[in-house]
Amino acid sequence: MRCEPLSVGYPDHADEMDSLTLEELNNADGEKFVAILGGIYESSPWVAERARSDRPFASIEDLHDRMSRAVEDASRERKLDLLRAHPDLAEGTEMTDASEEEQASAGLDELSREQYEAFQRLNETYRERFGFPFIMAVRGASPDAIQAAMERRIENSEAEEFRTALDQVHEIARLRLEELVS
């Protein structure tokens, strides 16, 4: 079972997400705004809820900055919940359409058996060490580059990796916004 796509609650744009304009987003009622942007930060509509009162947004960058600020102003526990909302890489379990597309763009849906097993071991080690999944903006990256990043980052301190993971979450959100809003 898949989670709903980014355009939930905004059927006019479900099949043509790139036609959503910043003006339409700024003028959307509060519920529609949250429905449209609720998946930008993985399964965390609270980020859009916090950002909606900052409208109107002058640009996609402005919107991203406000959403990022909402995350940064949240409690550590809320941030940890956001990190834990992300799927493991190359896991093949339930994930949002956006995550599935991003992982496929990096070839994580076509790994060899050896690569798949390596990712599973790294995912498990990483989760045990940090308490959340490895997060990386993987769009267009190669499986080898992703694996190398996992191997390198697994050596980080907890504080370093928490910050790195949040930075990657913000990058993923930026890419999703750029794809969604024209």
User: How would DSSP label each residue in 7-38?
Assistant: TTT-GGGSS-GGGB-HHHHHHS-HHHHHHHHT
Catalytic status, residue 86: yes
Among candidate residues 13, 64, 86, 170, the one labeled active-site is 86
Tell which residue, 121, 127, 126, 137, has the closest CA to residue 171: 137
Q: Where are the alpha helices (DSSP H) in the chain?
A: 22-27, 30-37, 45-51, 60-72, 76-84, 97-105, 113-130, 143-153, 158-180
Catalytic residue positions, numbered: 86
